[in-house]
């Protein structure tokens, strides 16, 4: 498998605070890769570095080309980034959020894609005109996911999709992500606090500690790792 996304010695800082101290990782085409770690380890910043939301150094290669510029450029290159805390535009309606998701696309298949989203999220058609801000937390997270899919991304980046959601909803969201990966070959880079579920769906994972990669391997390897089990899985 060739790598769709490669990070080599990527650094990023917020003012005087260095959040990433040389991250190297790769996301093979068609796989699900998880980024794990404690709060402040640099998980979110890793995604923000990829989509150009923070100033970064080092090399980021996407689909064989160096990735430069801000979030607009990343979106146009085919990266859909769902940020932490429900990436929806709360003042727009559900349908408007989906239309906006397809902003970078040309052509007239947007309507067909909105209908396609109903296969994954059956509640969407009947709630299309509802303002996104009035949806429940789980629905907003699903809408954020649907909006990201509307751009037909080559890479989907999810930042802690489970935050603040009931376990049942979290399970549903991750099962949709798995299905998309298996049936449509969607490549996914997911940052997650819920290590157990992340290791269930991801093929490989990276564990970050204070801005560097402390550990990486297949999900099975990490599940078997003593340190991971004790620090993150708690058994």
Partner 1 sequence: MAAFFQQVVSGLASGSIYGALALSIVLIHRATGVINFAQGEMATFSTYIAWTLVTHHGFSYWPAFVVALVVSFLGGVGIHEAVIRPVERGPRIRVVIVTIGLLLVLNGLVTWIWSGEVRAVQSPFPARTIDVGGVAISWQDIGTIAVCLLSVLVLGAFFRCTKTGLAMRAAATNPAEARLVGVRVSRMLAVGWGLAAALGAVAGMLTAPSVFLSPNMMLTVLIYAFAAAVLGGIDSPVGAVVGGLLLGVGLNLLGTYVDFVGSDLGLPAALLVILVVLLVRPAGLFGKPRVRKV
When asked if residue 75 is in the footprint of partner 1 (CB under 8 A), the reply is: yes
Shortest Å, Cβ 218 to partner 1 = 30
Q: Which residues of 49-84 are buried (b: 16+ CB within 10 A; e: fewer)?
A: bbbbbbebeeebebbeeebeeeeeebbebbbbbbbe
Shortest Å, Cβ 14 to partner 1 = 15
When asked if residue 91 is in the footprint of partner 1 (CB under 8 A), the reply is: yes
Helix (H) or strand (E) holding 65: strand 65-66
CB nearer to partner 1: pick between 77 and 170? 77
CB nearer to partner 1: pick between 157 and 205? 157
Q: Which residue(s) pair with 59 in the sheet?
A: 8
- Work out which of 19, 27, 94, 101 binds partner 1, going by CB under 8 A: 101
When asked if residue 140 is in the footprint of partner 1 (CB under 8 A), the reply is: no
When asked if residue 154 is in the footprint of partner 1 (CB under 8 A), the reply is: no
Shortest Å, Cβ 215 to partner 1 = 29
Name the residue among 133, 105, 111 with its Cα closest to residue 144: 133
Number of residues that bind partner 1 (CB under 8 A): 24
- Work out which of 81, 94, 208, 211 binds partner 1, going by CB under 8 A: 81
Shortest Å, Cβ 141 to partner 1 = 14
Shortest Å, Cβ 121 to partner 1 = 18
When asked if residue 96 is in the footprint of partner 1 (CB under 8 A), the reply is: yes
When asked if residue 151 is in the footprint of partner 1 (CB under 8 A), the reply is: yes
28-67 residues in contact with partner 1 (CB under 8 A) are 51, 53
Span near partner 1 by CB under 8 A; candidates 95-103, 169-177, 203-211, 224-232: 95-103
CA–CA dist 2, 62 (Å, integer): 11
Strands of the 3-14 sheet, one edge to the other? 17-28, 3-14, 56-62, 65-66
Q: Which residues of 184-208 are buried (b: 16+ CB within 10 A; e: fewer)?
A: eebbbbbbbebbebbbebbbbbbbb
Cα 234 to Cα 22, 37, 176, 228, 229, distances in angstroms: 28, 14, 26, 9, 6
Shortest Å, Cβ 72 to partner 1 = 5
């Amino acid at each position: 498998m060739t790598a769709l996304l490669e990070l080599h010695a990527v650094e990023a800082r917020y003012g005087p605070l260095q959040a990433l101290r040389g991250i190297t990782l790769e996301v093979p085409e068609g796989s699900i890769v998880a980024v794990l770690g404690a709060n402040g380890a640099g998980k979110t910043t890793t995604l923000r570095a990829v989509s150009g939301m923070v100033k970064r150094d080092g090399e980021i290669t996407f689909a064989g080309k160096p990735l430069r510029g801000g979030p607009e450029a990343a979106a146009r290159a085919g990266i859909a980034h769902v940020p932490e805390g429900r990436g929806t535009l709360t003042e727009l309606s559900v349908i408007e959020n989906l239309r906006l998701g397809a902003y970078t696309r040309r052509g007239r298949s947007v309507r067909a894609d909105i209908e396609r989203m109903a296969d994954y999220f059956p509640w969407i058609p009947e709630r299309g005109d509802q303002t996104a801000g009035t949806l429940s937390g789980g629905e907003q997270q699903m809408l954020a996911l649907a909006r990201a899919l509307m751009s037909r991304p080559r890479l989907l980046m999810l930042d802690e999709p489970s935050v603040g959601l009931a376990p049942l909803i979290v399970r549903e969201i991750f099962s949709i992500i798995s299905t998309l990966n298996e049936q449509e070959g969607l490549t996914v880079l997911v940052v997650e606090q819920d290590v157990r579920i992340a290791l269930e769906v991801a093929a490989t994972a990276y564990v970050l500690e204070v801005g560097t990669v402390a550990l990486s391997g297949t999900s099975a390897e990490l599940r078997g790792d003593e340190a991971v089990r004790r620090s993150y899985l708690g058994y």
